[in-house]
Amino acid sequence: MSSRNSPPASRRPSPVRSAPEPAPDSLARALLLASAAVAAVQAGRSLTEVLAQQAKGELGPTRAQAQDLAYGALRRYGWGEAVLAVLLQKPLPEPQLQSLLLCALYRLESRPEQSHTVVDQAVAAAATLAKGNFRGVINGVLRSYLRQRPELLARAAGKPSGAWWHPDWWLSRLRRAYPRDWETIATAGNGQPPMTLRVNLARGSREEYQARLDAAGIAAVPLGSAALLLQKPVSVDALPGFFDGFVSVQDWGAQRAAELLDARAGQRVLDACAAPGGKTAHILERAGVDLLALDVDGLRCRRVEENLSRLGLRAAVRAADARCPDDWWDGRPFDRILADVPCSASGVVRRHPDSKWLRRETDIAQFARVQRQILEVLWPTLAVGGRLLYATCSVFPEENSQQVSAFLARHGDARRIGIDGADELQLLPGSEHDGFYYALLEKTA
């Protein structure tokens, strides 16, 4: 087929041969997807958002494999960067080539028995990037890695971020706050998170639900009053009665919130930073309260509504900034307030490994400022004798104990209610739960 405007055949440039797209179910395809996601995170986007976007076009095993590669590469990003600093003489021209190497290095570490396949598939993926000009570099870097692995591991371990897979500033803060436990906290932050269910006790007992899990071949152990810790994570589609509201996915540490708030039937409750609504739903499952759920993010408010609707629960859900009470408070005091404030999420970093690398140290002071503003505005809306539960999923004291101590120093009408025999509860991430902080305050006058 020719058109009138085409040059004569003899003068046409020879066509650029583009590399074939890797097969849809190949490791090369998964490496391409994962490296695109990691490159997007390097450019400042959140991994959850990027993966959700990719999931619209990609189904099946490649998607699961790509997610594992992206999470794995980001968990050990500091290590991968330390290794590449030795192996690459200069940065690669396309960020995705660099992230392809990070994903392939993770795969070489997690599946050493597949080393030849991993190198071949990474080269096949590189054929579709930068006109295929860097296939040789990718091949050379990965083969050098395999040859020099012991020395490279030793070099990476010489840098804190290479040894502990967290940014240096983050590690310094952990060391300062937890001189004895910082290594355990960092190690937990690098692992796979547990999957825990919250049984909706309004619909049946935990024993009944565990029997349903058993029948479905899903092994779990009970924790606390309503939690079941799964031996292995499963898709929510596999959970009996999930779509009928018999159960929710919620970390056990997060389940402490509704229990500590202890809202009673008929009370007025404010959930000031509610989305996506895990704790809102738990409060409502425990007692028939009159609940107002706020969140500044209107899109996330929809998630609260979807969660409540799945569970057959009702609350007033409002998109509003908790710091602007004129927008949401009718002047009637609340008996209970949950302030699950925005924070660094340093206690749940294994669920969001991108956050370690996206955060800057200066963000911590910024979070602390917003937390303080939210607390100051919420306090006057609490009834005398009422209780406010301050919560974060952080392990940094600036957002937790220091925030609450400063609040108590400013407010003579506030007193602490002890938790588990202590002034406050700082949960550190471990095999049974994520890192959370709770302080329970009562208004005395």
CB of 323 to ligand SAM, least distance (A): 5
Q: Are the C-beta atoms of 417 and 390 separated by less than 8 Å?
A: no
Q: Is 58 in the site for ligand SAM (CB under 6 A)?
A: no
What the block records as the tokens of 57 is: 């076009």
Cα–Cα distance measured from residue 163 to residue 157, given in angstroms and rounded to the nearest whole number = 4
Residue 277 marked in a binding site: yes
Number of residues this chain uses to bind ligand SAM (CB under 6 A): 20
Q: Is 319 in the site for ligand SAM (CB under 6 A)?
A: no
Pick the catalytic residue from 103, 301, 343, 393: 393
Q: Is 323 in the site for ligand SAM (CB under 6 A)?
A: yes
Among 22, 193, 278, 353, binds ligand SAM (CB under 6 A): 278
Among 340, 354, 399, 424, binds ligand SAM (CB under 6 A): 340
Among 295, 399, 424, 434, binds ligand SAM (CB under 6 A): 295
CB of 338 to ligand SAM, least distance (A): 7
Question: Per CB under 6 A, which of residues 344..383 are in contact with ligand SAM?
Answer: 374
Which positions from 377 to 416 touch ligand SAM by CB under 6 A, shown as an x/- string? ----------------x-----------------------
CB of 413 to ligand SAM, least distance (A): 23
Cα–Cα distance measured from residue 211 to residue 220, given in angstroms and rounded to the nearest whole number = 10
Q: Is 195 in the site for ligand SAM (CB under 6 A)?
A: no
Q: Are the C-beta atoms of 386 and 335 separated by less than 8 Å?
A: yes
> Which residue's Cβ lies closest to ligand SAM?
273
Residue 275 marked in a binding site: yes
Report the residue number, 106 or 399, with the smaller CB distance to ligand SAM.
399
Rounded to the nearest 5 percent, the helix, strand and coil shares of the chain are 50, 15, 35
What the block records as the tokens of 283 is: 């409060």
393 is catalytic: yes
Residue type at 85? Answer: A
Label each residue of 216-275 as H, E or C: CCCCEEEECCCEEEECCCCCHHHCCCHHHCCEEECCHHHHHHHHHHCCCCCCEEEECCCC
Q: At what angle do helices 182-189 and 168-177 cross, to 10 degrees?
A: 140
Question: By C-alpha distance, which of 126, 47, 50, 70 is closest to 93?
Answer: 126
Question: By C-alpha distance, which of 360, 371, 375 is closest to 443?
Answer: 375
Residue 147 burial (CB count, 10 A): 10
Question: Where does this chain touch ligand SAM (CB under 6 A) — which range of 19-27, 167-175, 296-304, 401-409?
Answer: 296-304
Residue 443 marked in a binding site: no
Active site residues: 393
Residues in the site for ligand SAM, rule: CB under 6 A?
254, 273-279, 294-297, 300, 321-323, 340, 342, 374, 393
- Binding site for S-adenosyl-L-methionine: which residues? 273-279, 295, 321, 340
